Amino acid sequence: MAKYAIIWTTTNSYMPGTNANLNALEFYGFDVDAYVLYDEISDDYKAHFPKVNFSQMTVWSEHRDSYWYCVFSDLKYAVDNLFDNYDVVLFWGGDVCIVDNFMEYFEVAHKLNRIVAGTNEHHGEGPINLPEKQPYTHTWMVPWADIPFFVPSTKRKVIENTLSYQYIKGATVDRMDGLNYAIRDEKENVFGVLGHMWVMNCPYWGKIERSGNNLLLFGSKMKSFHRKYWSKEYAKNYADGNEISKNNATMFNYMYRFLNNQRVKWTEGIDAWQNASDLS
């Protein structure tokens, strides 16, 4: 029987997202092993999730700041510990909120032996037109986002390459573009899913509605969404005076509050508002 894992990193400021996701994995009925890499989480908190694998982030490279470790620790942990034990690893984020069961995409990645990734809403699906010459440079203009990012164990070279680019002198490449460089270098045929159903970084594209315990966009269930919409001030940055964006930010805030009110409660750092007009 195939084995699947999901992994992400978190800090204390991302706990509203991490707790929401851990509750969501239970609430939506996932059959997957969860790994959370953290900077500081109490033993009392970890005891609420005895089946979750918590590990403190460790320092393994000189002259790197805490942000860098939050961005790349899950990739290294998967290479060192997960790919030898799981058929597919899903790389996730502490500010990406699960709002539906999507176990079938683990199966797609496993049975097709292909990476499953979301399209980049700011670029669109298409060829990866990136420089061939090292050191690689940073760019947001890539076709594939890093959420979701399902990687079969047979495709671990993409993750290994992404990490290796970080040690090339003069390279300015980050995580998402690094994954795209690695996909290009390994000539991988990615199975694409629509980014706005998983990320929704462009919250003005369409009005989101609630349907029971799910969110609907264009009449279809969203799988997840990105950004720290547990914060009202943060949400205002993406409301843009646009009524659709205000509505969607309010829907996202509701889901963070809903999921953080499931089996394990979390209230610290979570703002609440009821109406889109509250973001004016």
**pLDDT score of 125:** 62
**pLDDT score of 128:** 72
More confident residue, 83 or 61: 83
Residue 97's pLDDT band (cuts 50, 70, 90): very high
At the second CATH level, the architecture of 4-196 is: Alpha-Beta Complex (3.90)
Mean pLDDT for 60-73 is 93
**pLDDT score of 63:** 84
**pLDDT score of 231:** 97
**pLDDT score of 269:** 97
Strand segments (E) across the chain = 4-10, 33-38, 53-56, 88-91, 96-98, 116-119, 144-152, 191-193, 208-211, 214-217, 220-221, 224-226
Mean pLDDT for 86-115 is 98
pTM over 0.95: yes
More confident residue, 100 or 242: 100
pLDDT digits (tens, 9 = 90+) for 26-56: 999 999 999 999 999 999 999 999 999 999 9
Nearest Cα residue to 1 out of 32, 35, 34, 27: 32
**pLDDT score of 20:** 98
pLDDT digits (tens, 9 = 90+) for 119-155: 999 876 666 789 999 999 999 999 999 999 999 999 9
Mean pLDDT for 253-271 is 98
Nearest Cα residue to 246 out of 260, 225, 229, 259: 229
pLDDT digits (tens, 9 = 90+) for 70-87: 999 999 999 999 999 999
Task: Write the CA distances from 99 to 7, 23, 120, 256, integer angstroms.
Answer: 17, 11, 20, 9
pLDDT digits (tens, 9 = 90+) for 197-255: 999 998 888 999 999 999 999 999 999 999 999 999 999 998 877 899 999 999 999 99
Mean pLDDT for 152-161 is 98
Residue whose structure tokens are 């939050």: 70
Domain edges within the chain = 4-196, 202-274
More confident residue, 140 or 280: 140
Separation between Cα atoms, residue 73 and residue 85, nearest integer Å? 18
